[in-house]
Amino acid sequence: MSSRRNFIKTSTAAVLGAALVSKAGAASLPEAPEEKSATTKPPSLPPNGRPFHPVVTLNGWSLPWRMNGKWKEFHLTAEPVQRELTPGSVANLWGYNGQSPGPTIECVAGDWVRIYVTNRLPEHTTVHWHGILLPSGMDGVGGLSQPQIAPGKTFAYEFRMKKSGTFMYHPHADEMVQMAMGMMGFLVVHPDNHRHHHADRDFVFLMSAYDIEPGTMTPRVNTMLDFNLWTWNSRIFPGLDPLVIRQGDRVRIRAGNLTMTNHPLHLHGYDFEVTGTDGGWVPKAARWPEVTVDVAIGQMRAFEFDAIYPGDWAFHCHKSHHTMNAMGHDVPTLIGVDHRKVARRINNLVPQYMVMGDKGMADHGAMEMELPENTAPMMTGHGQFGPIEMGGMFTVVKVREGLAKNDYSDPGWYQHPEGTVAYEVS
Ligand SMILES: [Cu+2]
């Protein structure tokens, strides 16, 4: 009996007998665990299957699986979720297994993978496995490669992971709406020899953008370009956890872009090499040094460095509007204009009226502005020297000496050696 026939048999059964799968077959489905918290889960070694070095999903987690003969079985549940973007700001999104983005799926090249997808959304969906080489009918494009998964139904996807690399999953059904609502997840296929492409710390995140009017909770799904929340794994600074790294570790960071514009990712304190794309690993001879890697729409990039230099290093999108939280874009520029009297008079009439400062926007960061409910400040976060004045796609890479191997807990602010901090000259 060929595996291809099994394939067809099982997937046809899943398509035609979806109700069967969800009722009579319920006991045979693997668990679909839910995760409610948005903190970064330290990686745990695979309990079964072939060995691999797990990734760390920034402010997220990896999906458990079960082995069923040769199959590694996962269960995704597409559903409405509430995602905390940062403390004090929660969004109504759509995602998988309790979160947006969904859990990271990790497997090994050569694995036979069966992924059940149960749809608890109010409309149909599918899942496309971005970058994976697979049979055309498993590619997840609604209408083209399969009928859409109706609400309440469960489908099974089955394929063998042909190669290792950096991939993602997202719907290919009512795509504009479902991605604007946060439906996406990371997919990592580890090398079949776990010593190949080794990194001691391997961080992953997806970039998504939302248009959520200050004071509201649900994204406007028809927005094409003018998004006001730029997120990594549906989190905004200061809600993004730091990337905690032990000095001397080999580090890989992998990012995918499912927004409507490109994001030049910039890391301070280091130069790095781009070592992978969603097409595969970059051959060693073809790598070149960078400090910024542009991730275009629908692309993924993996880059690596040796964490030699201790410190608190900024890591952010270099589009400065993407390191801000929700703001009005029609605020007039008033640099050089003394408008304090006018602003005071308008403020008497409209208490939440915001104007740009006459010296810049820094006074926004320092001022405790009254904000609509459920809205994060535009420029926020505090460091050991004062306000950081950032939001959105910004976090800190914290490289420290002597951390334990699997310690990802926040070590606090860097203790600079004496004489190594910029200082005021009198
Ligand atoms: Cu950006």
Ligand 1 mean position, distance from CA 232 (Å) = 10
Q: Ligand 1 centre and the CA of 334: distance in Å?
A: 25
Q: In the chain, what are the domain boundaries?
A: 3-199, 327-374
Residue 67 has pLDDT above 90, yes or no: yes
C-beta of residue 128 within 8 angstroms of C-beta of residue 148? no
pLDDT of residue 27: 54
In tens, the pLDDT along 374-392 reads 888 888 899 999 999 999 9
* pLDDT confidence of residue 12: 41
CA of 224 from ligand 1 middle (Å) equals: 15
- Is residue 337 scored above 90 in pLDDT? no
Ligand 1 geometric centre to CA of 317 (Å): 5
CA of 24 to the centre of ligand 1 (A): 47
Residues whose CB is less than 8 angstroms from the CB of residue 224 and which lie 6 or more positions away in sequence, other chains included: 260
* Residue 143 predicted with pLDDT over 90: yes
Measured in Å, residue 35 CA sits from the centre of ligand 1 at 27
Q: Which tokens is 115 given?
A: 């992924």
CA atoms within 13 A on the CB side of 120: 15
Gap from CA of 198 to ligand 1 centroid (Å)? 28
Rounded distance from Cα 300 to ligand 1 centre (Å): 14
> What is the distance in A from the centroid of ligand 1 to the CA of 228?
11
User: Is the pLDDT confidence value at 142 over 80?
Assistant: yes
| 382 CA → ligand 1 middle, Å | 21
Please tell me the distance between residue 235's alpha carbon and the centre of ligand 1 in angstroms: 13
- For residue 13, the CA-to-ligand 1 centroid distance in Å is 43
Closest of 271, 247, 243, 246 to residue 255, by C-alpha: 243
What's the gap in Å between 3 CA and the centre of ligand 1? 44
Distance 59 CA to ligand 1 centre (A): 18
* Residues 96-115 pLDDT 10s: 999 999 999 999 999 999 99
Closest CA to 40 of 185, 285, 229, 235: 235
Q: Residue 325 C-alpha to ligand 1 middle, in angstroms?
A: 12
Q: How much distance in Å is there from the Cα of 239 to the middle of ligand 1?
A: 17
Record the tokens describing residue 139, joined without a space. Answer: 């590619």
Burial class (CB in 10 A: 0-12, 13-18, 19+), 364: buried
CA of 332 to the centre of ligand 1 (A): 22
End-to-end Cα spacing for the chain: 83
**Residue 184 alpha carbon to ligand 1 centre in Å:** 18
* Residue 256: both structure tokens together: 């995918």
Domain 3-199 class in CATH: mainly beta
SS3 413: coil
Question: 225 CA to middle of ligand 1, Å?
Answer: 12
How remote is the CA of residue 272 from the centroid of ligand 1, in Å?
19
Residues with Cβ within 8 Å of 114's Cβ and at least 6 positions away in sequence, in order, are 10, 68, 71, 72, 73, 74, 156, 157, 158
Distance 293 CA to ligand 1 centre (A): 11
- Read off the pLDDT of residues 289-298 as tens digits, 9 standing for 90 and up: 999 999 999 9
d(CA 361, CA 358): 8
| Spatial contact of 163 and 23, defined as CB atoms under 8 Å apart | no
CA of 196 to the centre of ligand 1 (A): 31
Q: How confident is the model over 190-214, as pLDDT tens digits?
A: 999 989 999 999 999 999 999 999 8
Tell me the CA–centroid distance for residue 322 and ligand 1, in Å.
5
CA of 294 to the centre of ligand 1 (A): 9
Distance CA 129, CA 395 (A): 28
Q: What is the pLDDT of residues 256-311, one digit of tens each?
A: 999 999 999 999 999 999 999 999 999 999 999 999 999 999 999 999 999 999 99
